[in-house]
């Protein structure tokens, strides 16, 4: 009998893994929390023209979900992994509905393609209604055709700000500016060295040109070396303060400027979602899942691909997924797949060097600036806690300040708290996804036939 490969995540990495695992003869089960495959990158607005988005690879791979050897489980939340029994615990059904089915899977090989989520650095006023992450703003615009506001400022770091601005313009928002915190010299240096090594991402040049044309057509200014340092408003955002920042993101005095807005979306890159990999016992390296040349993690039978191994965009994720799919199915990946993956990885390195996070961002904070929005833990409380000898270590600091103990369990504030307090981010959560007590107590149905 062929190997049973379970793939968690149906974004670019997961879908490429599906294609290549099937080609290698495996039986495949694909799980994703969303109702449609594609992840955030391929999210479509209702009635969108597929041709405009140039998604022939995506459409081809999406059709493979109907393959006789493939089971496609949308609306599936993987909430735990038992490493002793090699058992994956899954809930199927609407997250906000009742009657979700509790199932388990015992795969021959597991591919984790769980992706990443937004990273947003705290600043005074970021807890106000009207402050959105860049990913949330794009999800509402692309998926629901809803603009987060009528007059919006887009700010942060990285090329993801461009498609976000485009999505907002598409749904009728006025984008007053797009602000990249890194200065032009840093961005140019990161992208321009040995440009021929970016051949695998040639399509990005056309994409970049389209964004530039869109911003020009709508007369949206794009500024380097400028960041949002404060949001103001009584009950929601009414204005934001921006400032020129140096290469380390320290504020240049006298450069402050105020914009009147009713919404602001901010994104400072992405952080991986390694909870299931940690539950499986996989070793992390710099917060990302450590893999070898065939996308094997440090745990036998567990593979990883996409943003959880390093932030590199859709092309890199798909290239990694292709290698992981072949290897997980028991076939040695072809040299051409390995070379394509290695070329694509160049993009990840450029992305990190062109759009780094400046270490002086903490100079934006005040003592009463909220860092953990769930528990309303302030910067001042964290600073005092780190110098308190009664709270040694990150665990005691977390219990003492409650930072990271709210509903998001540190997914939003975790990187910031770790950076401010000098500790490492904790990803170990016995229950990786929210689950009702009744569902936890319910009898599992096991694996359906």
Q: What is the pLDDT of residues 405-440, one digit of tens each?
A: 888 888 888 888 888 887 766 677 777 887 888 888
More confident residue, 57 or 354: 354
Task: Please tell me the predicted confidence (pLDDT) of residue 93.
Answer: 86
Contacts 24+ apart (CB under 8 A), 375-382: 375/401, 375/402, 375/403, 375/404, 375/405, 375/406, 376/127, 377/401, 377/402, 377/403, 377/413, 379/122, 379/420, 382/417, 382/420, 382/421
If asked whether residues 407 and 318 sit together in one domain, one would say no
pLDDT of the residue at 321: 97
- Tell me which H or E stretch contains 226: strand 226-232
Specify whether the CB–CB gap between 328 and 17 falls below 8 A. Answer: yes
Mark whether 75 and 45 lie in a shared domain.
Answer: yes
Q: Is 46 within the bounds of a domain?
A: yes
Residue range 188-204: mean pLDDT, rounded = 72
At 379, is the pLDDT very low, low, confident or very high (cuts 50, 70, 90)? very high
The whole-number pLDDT of residue 197 equals 65
CATH code for position 179: 3.50.50.60
Q: Give the residue from 187, 198, 195 showing the smallest Cα distance to 358.
A: 187
* 69 lies in some domain: yes
Tokens 């949206």, located at residue: 220
Residues 319 and 402 in one domain: no
Q: Is residue 448 part of a domain?
A: no
Output 351 or 203, whichever has higher pLDDT.
351
Average pLDDT of the residues of the chain: 89
State which residues form the domain around 387: 365-421
Please indicate, yes or no, whether residues 34 and 153 belong to a single structural domain of this protein.
no
The answer to whether residues 171 and 212 belong to one domain is yes
Q: Has residue 446 been placed in a domain? A: no
Residues 149 and 234 in one domain: yes
Q: Identify the DSSP state of 113.
A: -
Residues 234 and 295 occupy one common structural domain: no
Q: Based on the structure, what is the number of domains in the chain?
A: 3
> For residue 256, which phi and psi values (nearest 5 degrees)?
-65, 145
- pLDDT(51) > 60: no
Do 141 and 23 share a structural domain? no
Same-domain status, 112 and 125: no
Model confidence at 45, pLDDT cuts 50, 70, 90, reads low
Residue 445 lies in a domain: no
Q: Please state, in angstroms and as integers, the Cα–Cα distance from residue 412 to each residue in 11, 81, 118, 268, following that order.
A: 21, 23, 8, 12
Q: Are residues 259 and 286 in the same domain?
A: no
278-319: per-residue pLDDT in tens?
999 999 998 899 999 999 999 999 999 999 999 988 889 999
User: What's the pLDDT at 50?
Assistant: 47
- Locate all alpha helices (DSSP H) within 355-392, ordered by sequence: 379-386
| Residue 392 falls inside a structural domain | yes
Residue 428 lies in a domain: no
- Pairing between β-strand 288-289 and β-strand 70-73 as defined by DSSP bridges: unpaired
Domain end marker among 267, 294, 317: 267
Mean pLDDT to the nearest integer, 347-357: 88
Q: Which of 149, 122, 109, 202 is nearest to 370 (CA)?
A: 122
Which residue(s) pair with 214 in the sheet? none
**In this predicted model, what pLDDT tens digit does every residue of 395-404 receive, in sequence order?**
777 778 888 8
Q: Same domain for 243 and 136?
A: yes
pLDDT score at 46: 55
The answer to the question of residue 195 being in a domain is: yes
Which residues are registered as beta bridge partners of 73? Answer: 31
- Whether residues 151 and 251 share a domain: the answer is yes
């Amino acid at each position: 009998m062929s190997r049973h490969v379970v793939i968690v995540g149906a974004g670019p990495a997961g879908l490429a893994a599906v294609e290549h695992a099937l080609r290698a003869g495996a039986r495949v089960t694909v799980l994703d929390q969303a109702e449609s495959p594609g992840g955030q990158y391929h999210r479509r607005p209702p009635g969108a023209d597929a041709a405009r988005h140039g998604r022939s690879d995506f459409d081809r791979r999406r059709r493979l979900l109907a393959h006789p050897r493939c089971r496609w489980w949308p609306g599936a939340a993987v909430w735990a992994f038992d490493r002793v029994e090699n058992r994956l615990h899954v809930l199927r059904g609407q997250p906000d509905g009742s009657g979700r089915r509790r199932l388990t899977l015992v795969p021959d090989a597991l591919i984790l393609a769980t992706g990443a989520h937004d990273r947003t650095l705290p600043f005074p006023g970021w807890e106000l209604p009207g402050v959105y992450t860049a990913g949330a703003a794009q999800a509402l615009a692309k998926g629901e055709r809803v603009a987060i506001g009528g007059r919006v400022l887009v700010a942060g770091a990285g090329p993801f700000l461009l498609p976000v601005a485009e999505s907002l313009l598409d749904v009728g928002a006025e984008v007053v500016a797009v602000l990249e915190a890194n200065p032009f010299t840093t961005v140019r240096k990161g992208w321009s060295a040995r440009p021929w090594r970016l051949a695998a991402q040639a399509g990005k040049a056309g994409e970049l040109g389209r964004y530039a044309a869109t911003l020009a057509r709508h007369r949206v200014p794009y500024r380097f070396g400028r960041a949002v340092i404060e949001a103001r408003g009584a009950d929601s955002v009414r204005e934001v303060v921006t400032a020129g920042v140096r290469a380390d993101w320290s504020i240049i005095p006298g450069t402050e400027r105020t914009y009147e807005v009713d919404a602001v979306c901010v994104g400072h890159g992405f952080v991986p979602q390694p909870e299931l990999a940690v539950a499986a016992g996989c070793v992390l390296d710099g917060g990302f899942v450590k893999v070898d040349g065939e996308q094997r993690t440090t745990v036998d039978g567990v593979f990883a691909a996409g943003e959880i191994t390093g932030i590199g965009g859709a092309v890199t994720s798909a290239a990694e997924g292709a290698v992981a799919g072949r290897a997980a199915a028991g076939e040695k990946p072809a040299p051409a797949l390995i070379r394509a993956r290695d070329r694509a990885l160049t993009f990840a390195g450029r992305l990190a060097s062109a759009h780094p996070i400046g270490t002086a961002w903490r100079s934006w904070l005040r003592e009463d600036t909220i860092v953990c929005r769930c528990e309303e833990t302030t910067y001042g409380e964290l600073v005092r806690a780190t110098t308190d000898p009664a709270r040694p270590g990150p665990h005691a600091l977390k219990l003492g300040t409650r930072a990271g103990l709210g509903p998001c369990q540190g997914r939003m504030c975790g990187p910031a708290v770790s950076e401010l307090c000098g500790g490492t981010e904790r990803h170990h959560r016995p229950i990786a996804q929210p689950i009702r007590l009744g569902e936890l107590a319910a009898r599992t149905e096991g694996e359906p036939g």
